[in-house]
Amino acid sequence: MAAKICVFDAYGTLFDVAAAAREAASEPDMLAIANSWEKVANEWRLKQLQYSWIRAIVGEHADFWTVTSDGLDWALKNNGLDGNANLRERLLALYRELAAYPEVPATLSRLRASGKSTAILSNGSPSMLDSAVKAAGIESLLDAVLSVESVGVFKPNRYVYDLVGRRFGGKPSEVLFASSNGWDASSAAHFGFYSIWVNRSGEPVDNLPWKPNKIVDDLSEIPSIANRA
């Protein structure tokens, strides 16, 4: 049975989470990060995710903008940049308008043309997602943008994945879900989605009991997969 609904994680899947630090590093006023932007970007992302997991486990939710800001503060401090208020402000501004990966518009267009419903399911707060979607120019290619804020807990809590059924109806098996996070793809497979791991960096599969149904290098294969999933 072909998938009826195609759902995408946002950060790292549709939007390039390294783009903010990379762009800042190219700006004349942000030379402080020119030689360390990759390390800052990686540490920022890692702490952002770690803080979301910890908050989900202990039951102390905060919106993703708070978690993102906290993660950046740690990364800047770890790289001796915590006193640079202008850099912090610029990085956060750029994060609200992250670049989409090049294949994103065409992938969503092909899915819509084949009659699929398309959506984002993200840890991101509604305002963050609204800014990113508008900056990428993909508003018209999405049927829904679903945020964890409606359930007050981060992925991989099953209440997050259940948002898709609450919005579109149907069974989990009718949903194709794509994420660049291996843990997210595995958790979605456990929930019952047809799960695709977008493994852009060639990492090994996580040692979890649940595995993604498919592993791809980028999003360009997903329309073909959706028609036979």
Q: Would you please indicate which residues are annotated as catalytic (active-site) residues? A: 9
3-state SS string for 69-96 = HHHHHHHHHHCCCCCCHHHHHHHHHHHC
- C-alpha–C-alpha distance, residues 141 and 159, integer Å: 25
Task: Transcribe 147-162 into DSSP letters.
Answer: EGGGTT--TTSHHHHH
Residue 215: Cβ-neighbour burial (10 angstroms; 0-12, 13-18, 19+): middle
Residue 31 CA to residue 142 CA, distance in Å, equals 37
Amino acid, single-letter form, for residue 164: V
